[in-house]
A and B are shown apart, each in its own frame.
Chain A
Amino acid sequence: MSKQFQFKLVLLGESAVGKSSLVLRFVKDQFDDYRESTIGAAFLTQTVALEDGTSVKFEIWDTAGQERYKSLAPMYYRNANCAVVVYDITQSASLEKARSWIRELQRQADPSIIIALCGNKSDLSARRQVSQEEAQKYAEEEGLMWGETSAKSGEGVNEIFTEIAKKLPKNAPPSARAGGARAGAPRGGVDLNKQAAAQGGQNEPCNC
């Protein structure tokens, strides 16, 4: 039986660089040209099978628009195992924003976090403003993974998530590695949902 590991992945980047589209492509292999700002979906999961027989389940946190006015809650970074910081290759300003998100991650997140810098919209390379060399050089300096993707065509999308999955440490027991709060039964914690369902037995106050 293959071992499964669960990790929390957070997405960062300026509004409209295609964070949600990237995840939609990765998770559902879909693309929507007129996708509006993220509504209703902030907790997607996708599993990547690796060649060594293990599999990695990503618990993917979208920003839900809270990045727009620099109002992302500390909870977002908490226990994140990996981050995908997205910029738009046709907007050089978006790489600057990506740099500031990376600084923010280095300040707020766990020092062992794995960060991938991702240049999205590679299908629009005719309008390219950020060269591959520039982005790659910066990524190397900061020790980040790097890749270009097109959420529209799907190019490079699975590759970047698979590369992250390969790089994540798999030495800890699968359950204890999971970042999020809902990784099955929390360590020494209590599961409200479970207990709520079990309620209604002898401890029910009365039938009034």
Chain B
Amino acid sequence: MDEEYDVIVLGTGLTECILSGLLSVEGKKVLHMDRNDYYGGDSASLNLTQLYRKFRPDQAPPAELGRDRDYAVDLIPKFIIASGELTKILVHTDVTRYLEFKQIAGSFVYRDGKISKVPSNEMEAVRSPLMGLFEKRRAKKFFEFLQGWRDEDPATHQGIDLDKDTMATVYTKFGLEPGTQDFIGHAMALYLTDEYKNKPARPAYERIILYTSSMARYGKSPYIYPLYGLGELPQSFARLSAIYGGTYMLDKAIDEIVTDESGKFVGVRSGNETVKAKQVVGDPSYFGAGKALEGKQRVLEEGKVIRAICILKHPIPGTDDSDSAQIIIPQNQVNRKNDIYIAMVSSTHNVCAKDVYIAIVSTIVETDKPELEIQPGLQLLGQIHDKFISVTPLYTPAASGGEDNIFITRSYDATSHFETVVDDVHDVWKRMIGTDLVLKKRDVNVEA
């Protein structure tokens, strides 16, 4: 530990591992540390022993759940959008060589007490039970409009200006019912709230197109998932970092972020050793999150997420026995401000024993009784064999890090995918390096 590094990375969550990998590839000398003896931080996948140690330290996992090593239970429920930004980073960095992916079998949305498949194009919209006959025709016209849009061809615009007109205006033009707007805005554009409706329509348009193009890539759903759980993602980027010279230390106590008299970062103290570096980047838990304030406030809390990890012995009812699924309950459908998400995976993805299904129900907390808030989601699951509930604050950095060389990532939010994680990677990169992150294809020849 007597060397000096360019960057110390604290925490091995996905955001930190992507950054660590990209920084090492860039030629930076990186030291990557974690207080835990496993990779992944808040984005880890845990075996049964680790899961019980975290949620029920006084209990051993029951033998009837099967072998410990068969489990990789995600702590945060997210899927990878097939044509999304995380996929681009995976392909550009070549870490796909360490991973194997499977499709998520179905994407569902809740409407009027029932769940149905989310239609992904005008053809499916016509067959969907989500809409009546006349509404289907209107939806078909709406999807044709989106698919046909060409910026340079005003004839495809039908009088709409995506950069000026709001999404509400677009919905009104096509006469779509509120329930249809719910599934389009929440299950396809994947907005958590309805705020998008009063903003210019382009981002919503882009998100719907991302959904439909992702859907078209593999067929069953727009989502893919790594075998052995999401915890494989940080591990694969950690390996990328190590291959490019990054040094890894797990199970290492981080006792102090050492600064000079002007508050600038100097190093990290662990026990009576201090290791120096020019910059530090890490997740909020290494910078005072959740602790009584001592010294400078580095992170701010902005809301809480509740997540219920549910162990089921059957697939979710109404999903055609899908081995994996996403179900979105749009906020309007249950009189909330934020959507409720269900993400379900199973032994098909090598994350649990055979005939076990792991469903995580989550939402942003709106009241002082968060467990009641996820009831509409829990009710869709049928009999719940066991559940592990957590309520986690979401933290965001209080400062950009430009002044003190301390760069903090954001907590994993309530969205059902990794797009905001990649946004955070881009944001932190720009704050640390000063230029936009440009993904370069690795040019080393690793094949002999």
Chain A contact residues, CB within 8 Å of chain B = 27-28, 37-46, 64-66, 68-71, 73-76, 78, 108, 180-182, 186, 188-190, 192-193, 195-196, 199, 203-208
Are the CB atoms of B448 and A71 closer together than 8 Å?
Answer: no
State how many angstroms separate the Cβ of A205 from the closest Cβ of chain B.
4
Q: Say yes or no for B82: interface residue by CB 8 A criterion.
A: yes
Nearest CB in chain A: distance from B83 CB, A: 7
Closest 8 CB pairs of A and B: A64-B242, A71-B248, A73-B235, A205-B209, A181-B100, A203-B213, A71-B250, A75-B235
A45-B447, A196-B88, A206-B209 are known contacts; what are 15 more A-B pairs with Cβ within 8 Å? A27-B448, A28-B448, A37-B245, A43-B446, A44-B448, A64-B239, A65-B245, A66-B248, A69-B249, A73-B39, A180-B98, A182-B96, A186-B101, A204-B213, A205-B213
Please state if A196 and B213 are interface contacts (CB–CB under 8 Å): no
Cβ contacts A to B, 30 pairs, < 8 Å: A27-B448, A40-B444, A41-B243, A42-B243, A43-B447, A45-B448, A46-B448, A64-B239, A64-B243, A65-B245, A65-B248, A70-B250, A70-B251, A71-B248, A71-B249, A73-B235, A74-B38, A75-B236, A108-B69, A181-B97, A189-B102, A190-B101, A192-B224, A193-B96, A195-B218, A196-B87, A199-B83, A203-B216, A205-B206, A208-B151
A interface footprint on B65-97 (CB within 8 Å = 1, 0 otherwise)? 000010000000000001100011011000011
- Whether B99 contacts A181 by the Cβ 8 Å rule is yes
Cβ of B424: which chain A residues have Cβ within 8 Å of it? none
CA A193 – CA B82 in complex, angstroms?
11
A28: chain B residues at CB < 8 Å are: 448
Interchain nearest-CB distance for A123 vs B (Å): 23
Q: Check if B152 sits within 8 Å of A193, measured CB to CB.
A: no
**What is the number of residues of chain B that contact chain A, defined by CB distance less than 8 Å?**
51
Once the chains bind, are A38 and B96 in contact (CB under 8 Å)? no
Q: CA separation between A207 and B213, bound complex, in Å?
A: 14
Q: A42-B446, A206-B151, A206-B209 are in contact. Are A189 and B227 (CB under 8 A)?
A: yes
Residues of chain B with a CB closer than 8 A to A188's CB: 102
Q: A190, B224: Cβ atoms under 8 Å?
A: yes
Cβ–Cβ contact A192 & B446, under 8 A: no
Judge if B52 is at the interface, Cβ distance under 8 Å. no
Q: How far is the CB of A32 from chain B (nearest CB, A)?
A: 15
Which residues of the other chain, B, contact A180 by a CB distance below 8 angstroms?
Answer: 97-98
For B445, the closest partner residue in chain A by CB is A41
List residues of B (244-294) whose CB comes within 8 Å of A's CBs: 244-245, 247-252
Instruction: Tell me the residues in window 93-136 of chain B with beta carbons closer than 8 Å to chain A beta carbons.
Output: 96-103
The chain A residue with its CB closest to the CB of B1 is A69
Partner of A193, one of B91, B102, B213: B91
Q: Provide the bound-state CA to CA distance between A204 and B225, in Å.
A: 22
Q: Given the complex of chains A and B, what is the CA–CA distance between A42 and B38 in angstroms?
A: 21
Taking a contact as CB atoms under 8 Å apart, the answer to whether A192 and B250 are in contact is no
Q: Which of B102, B210, B239 contacts A73 (CB 8 A)?
A: B239
Interface 1/0s, chain B 181-210, versus A by CB < 8 A? Answer: 000000000000000000000000010011
From the candidates A64, A69, A199, A205, name the one contacting B217 in the complex (CB within 8 A).
A199
Q: Is the CB of B98 within 8 A of A75?
A: yes
Residue on A nearest B241 in the bound complex, by CB: A64
Find residues 132-156 in chain B having any chain A CB closer than 8 Å to their own CB.
149-152
At the interface, yes or no: B232 with Cβ under 8 Å from chain A? yes
Q: B228 contacts A38, CB within 8 Å? A: no
In the complex, which residue of chain B has the Cβ closest to the Cβ of A108?
Answer: B69
B247 partner, pick from A68, A75, A192, A203, beta carbons under 8 A: A68
Complex interface: chain B residues within 8 A of A203 (CB): 83, 212-213, 216-217
Q: Mark B25-59, 1 if CB is under 8 A from A, else 0.
A: 00000000000001100000000000000000000
Q: Which residues of A contact B244 (CB under 8 A)?
A: 39-40
A27 to chain B, nearest CB (A): 4
Q: How far is it, in angstroms, between the C-alpha of A68 and the C-alpha of B38 when the chains are bound? A: 15
Q: How far is the CB of A140 from chain B (nearest CB, A)?
A: 28
A11 to B214, CA, bound (A): 38
Report the bound CA distance from A190 to B243 in whole Å: 25
Question: B90 near A192 (CB under 8 angstroms)?
Answer: yes
Docked pose: A180 CA to B232 CA in angstroms = 13
Q: Which residues of B contact A195 (CB under 8 A)?
A: 82, 217-218
In the bound complex, residues from chain A placing their C-beta under 8 Å from that of B97 are 43, 180-182
Contacts of A208 in B (CB 8 A): 151
* Chain A residue with Cβ nearest B103: A190
Contact (Cβ within 8 A) B243 A38: yes
Nearest-CB residue, chain A, relative to B97: A182
A40 CB contacts on chain B under 8 angstroms: 243-244, 444
CA distance A73 to B40 in the complex (A): 10
The reply on B238 being an interface residue by CB < 8 A is yes
A7 to B435: give the CA distance in the assembly, Å: 42
CB distance from B303 to the nearest CB of A (A): 31
Q: Are A65's CB and B213's CB within 8 A? A: no
The residues of A that contact B99 with a CB separation of less than 8 Å are 181
Option from A39, A69, A196 in Cβ contact (under 8 Å) with B243: A39
Cα A182 to Cα B152 with chains together (Å): 41
Given contacts A43-B97, A181-B96, contact A69 B250 (CB under 8 A): yes
Contact of A75 among B102, B212, B239, B446 (CB under 8 A): B239
Of the candidates B102, B210, B247, which one forms a contact with A65 in the assembled complex, judged by CB atoms under 8 Å apart? Answer: B247
* Residues of B close to A205: CB separation below 8 A: 206, 209-210, 213
